[in-house]
Amino acid sequence: MEYQHGGDIYSREIELDYSANINPLGLPPGVRRALAQCVEGPAFSLYPDSACRA
């Protein structure tokens, strides 16, 4: 079989296609809260330690 990315939904019946990260339920509330805390906190205002000391 020739390698192809994604499910060929037009010539074969595909029940589950894991070639894309699609969540029909949307972003989980816990992930939304965690992202909001990161954006509001110091994580996005500091550059990483270029010497990797921490």
What percentage of the chain reaches a pLDDT higher than 70? 81
Output the pTM of the full model: 0.41
Q: Is pLDDT of 2 > 70?
A: no
pLDDT tens figures, 26-44: 889 999 998 888 888 777 7
Question: Binning pLDDT at 50, 70 and 90, where does residue 18 land?
Answer: confident
Three-state SS across 8-52?
CCCCCCCCCCCCCCCCCCCCCHHHHHHHHHHHHCHHHCCCCCCCC
Residue 40: both structure tokens together: 């509001």
Distance of CA 27 to the CA centre of its chain: 10
